[in-house]
Structure 1
Amino acid sequence: MLTHAYASPRAPKRVVVVGAGGFVGSTIVKEIAAANIPVIGLTRKEADLLSAAGSEQLRARLTPDDAVVFVSAVAPAKNAGQMMTNLRMAETALQAFAAAPPAHLLYISSDAVYADDANPVTEQSPLAPSTTHGMMHAARELMFRSEVKAPFAALRPTLIYGAGDPHSGYGPNRFRRQAAEGGPITLFGAGEEKRDHVAVEDVARLAVRILQHGSTGSLNAVTGVATSFCDIAHLVAGNFAPKVEVKHLPRAVPRAHLLHRFFDITNCYKAFPDFNFERLPDGLARVHREVFGSR
């Protein structure tokens, strides 16, 4: 869980977001700017962490008072090669941080670091990833926590959705695109698997809170409400007029071993008692309006 350096919010002198060109990073930049905190966003154009010059490029952008949000990643890391690519990026960043230590480091991680059978999941649940994606995030957390001489926090989002998501993974984003193409929305089997989904804007708002409080430790960016993919599909379908068909397909392969994932968000409310997550039905309706307007 989190420990706050400041009981009351205190704006960092400046925040540098590494990985600002991505879906999550760009949203964090916008949220920091909206909080009237000076921010610069670095993309691969400004600091290519996979190039020989990447460490120096990043170091040259940092000043001693900077707080850093590190969100740069090749995601999801589906295999060992992609996992190692992400670790090399973190290694390059560590070289830059050794020469120019940040005042505060926030790493955007993932709930994939937890064991599949950890239910309900809390920040105290053991880190026991079962995928290369989860192992990558767990390793990068360890690298930053052990080698960066600065207060460190890890924010671990669950499944993220939003209007600007470029991916088409199974869930809200894919369902919306299928519906926009005329449908049907297709589900694997009964779509009974239950997952927590969090709006990207809520992840960004939590990141700002952590920066303002100089927090250290870990926090799960989760709503505490798990919804079945079947229910999500019908929520998305209902945002279209007329409502799009939801079709169940036979499973071509056995169902994944992780059937449901539930979170206990007590620690989030202890850290930020006044924080309220957007309800999934409201968030899906808002994203629909952002993408399609009044259609």
Structure 2
Amino acid sequence: MTFNEGLQIDPNRASGGGPGMGGGLVLGGGALGIIVLIASLLLGGDPGSILGQFTGADSNSKSGATTLPSHCKTGADANKYVDCRVILTAQSLDAIWGTELPKQTSRQYTVPKLNLFSGAVSTGCGRASSAVGPFYCPADQTVYIDTSFFQELVDRFGSSGGPLAQEYVVAHEFGHHIQNLLGDINRAQRDPQGPTSGAVRTELQADCYAGVWAYYADKLPAPGSSDPFLKKLTDNDVRDALSAASAVGDDRIQQASTGRVNPEAWTHGSSDERQKWFLSGYKTGQVKSCDTFSAADLSNPPGLR
């Protein structure tokens, strides 16, 4: 997978670091945060003490505001540098959801902020460290990403290191923003764990929305260009995304961290479910194929029937 080289990267699309604004719900915490939380739940620990990492209890950590990348200018740079890839992926998500969300749902798309940080950051949902992984904070409508997570995803969890694996992660977090715009984001809080919980359904839906983005990313022309953001996706590209989805499945992480699988502690869904819901969005390009909350069987998404 490659971006079309001549596309222009907006230097103002991302920021670095940022002030805190209080407490709130953090969604989409990556594999590192999940593995710590699951281990606590399975071994009888206090999940509240772990969740403090997500919402600001770690008062000793320091924010690592990043220098915005001056080397990110074109699609060619996005093909070469991971930080540039994240920013141009965000631009493609803005363009695609800006067109498709009002068309498919009659809701207008508003652009979320993108914050690239290193180590730890203060957010509208409190302080968070890189251990949480990439996440979305509804309170300030911002996607937070420490790009070092992508290598951790490969080294510790066996994901592919391919570009679409990284872009899937960004698209998943933007999927939480879509849920926020559609009024679904709080369903995760009301039912926080279990194999068919609101939390799992929320995460699987964000996977599906990532698939919707991938469906259009190599088809819709980028603003000001006759070319789409991505060159035509190959089967290998899609396998990269599926590899990342599989790597952060609750069952896979539980097995790796504790040697056993406990679905009652799930918060994000199984590896198989995460891959299937991504494919449900990718094969249809339709928001309606992502209705996890009405699904009687999470292993059988509507877009794959």
What is the TM-score with the length of structure 1 in the denominator?
Answer: 0.29
Q: Give 1 or 2: higher strand fraction.
A: 1
Q: Give 1 or 2: higher helix fraction.
A: 2
What is the TM-score with the length of structure 2 in the denominator?
Answer: 0.28
